[in-house]
Amino acid sequence: MKICVIGSGSWGMALSIYLANQGNTIKVWSFSEEEKNKINEEKKCIFLPNVDLPKGIVCTNSYEEALQEAEIILHVTPSKFVRNTIKGYKDFVKPEQILLMCSKGFEAGTNLTLDEVIKQELPKIKYGILSGPSHAEEVAIGVPTALVVASKDDAVKQKVSDVFKSNLLRMYHTDDIKGVEIGGALKNIIAFCAGAAAGLNFGDNTFAMLATRGLVEITRLGISMGGESKTFYGLTGLGDLIVTCGSKHSRNRRAGELIAKGYSIEEAKKEIGMTVESIDNIDVAYYLSQKYGVEMPIVETVYDVLYNQLEPKKAVDILMTRELKAE
């Protein structure tokens, strides 16, 4: 199959590598001339330097060239760039093409989920949401992984499942788009907390507390926004939360660790060198908790740490001394 991948970051390239290894032809769009040249001439990716790119991957800076013959379009950019990127390529999209959103997060300013951005910019396109517990560094080297495609269109779920499935990647499907989106966006914020706990030299007890109560908060908001309860205890909820909170690959966990050690937001971003969705999305999560009247104390304390100068250690004290209640 001919596939277009919009975005040459670590996740976009990991998916490109995996799909090329399954025999597909991949055209990657990158905004960067440097990244294009590295991919085409050196067969290397800046963000996955230890992986050699397989045959079948070509990079271009042209939207039209990237989309021209593709059956499926994988959109893989940071959430804050989703709308403007879609605006850049939507005139080249054909009615028969499928759009698969592989980014996770909210749109700052509008507080929309990414499927809502798709519906505004490309109202007639058939689309799905790809999510699940998956680090680019592991998918790129063939570590066994399970993902979920969410769509209201059965044909989209079937086609995406068919192209992705292999002995290395197991595909599940659901029609709960909202639940999958909320789980993927909010788990980054809980991972930030897990990193902060590590940065403060707390232990496994604290990690388990944050992950478990964090899942409760994700589920509360997700259901309030129209998601299904069972989604948050599956791959795109609990599964993604586990992998992001506990992994050395997690940028969001690393950001929390750095902030707890005294780094500023800008210093932490510079140290990590890639987009940190938890920092970019915390204000939206905080807004949504207020809008829907959902109690989310972990989200609120992270917001105060990042934007109201609350010290991470004090944030933990606030969480630990809240009014006692039944679980």
**What is the set of active-site residues?**
187
Distance (Å) of CA 5 to CA 110, 147, 271: 25, 17, 27
Torsion sign across C-alpha atoms 140, 145, 149, 150: negative
* Pairwise CA distance, residues 34 & 237, whole Å: 36
* Pairwise CA distance, residues 302 & 134, whole Å: 24
Q: Which residues, at least 6 apart from 149, have a Cβ–Cβ distance to it below 8 Å? A: 100, 128, 129, 130, 156, 157, 160, 161, 164, 171, 172, 173, 174
Question: Which one, of 22, 21, 39, lies nearest residue 30 by Cα?
Answer: 39
Label the pairing between strands 106-107 and 112-113. antiparallel
As given in the structure block, the two tokens for residue 166 are 């292999």
* Pairwise CA distance, residues 285 & 74, whole Å: 25
User: Which residues make beta-bridge pairs with 5?
Assistant: 28, 74
Q: Which residues, at least 6 apart from 20, have a Cβ–Cβ distance to it below 8 Å? A: 26, 53, 54, 55, 56, 57
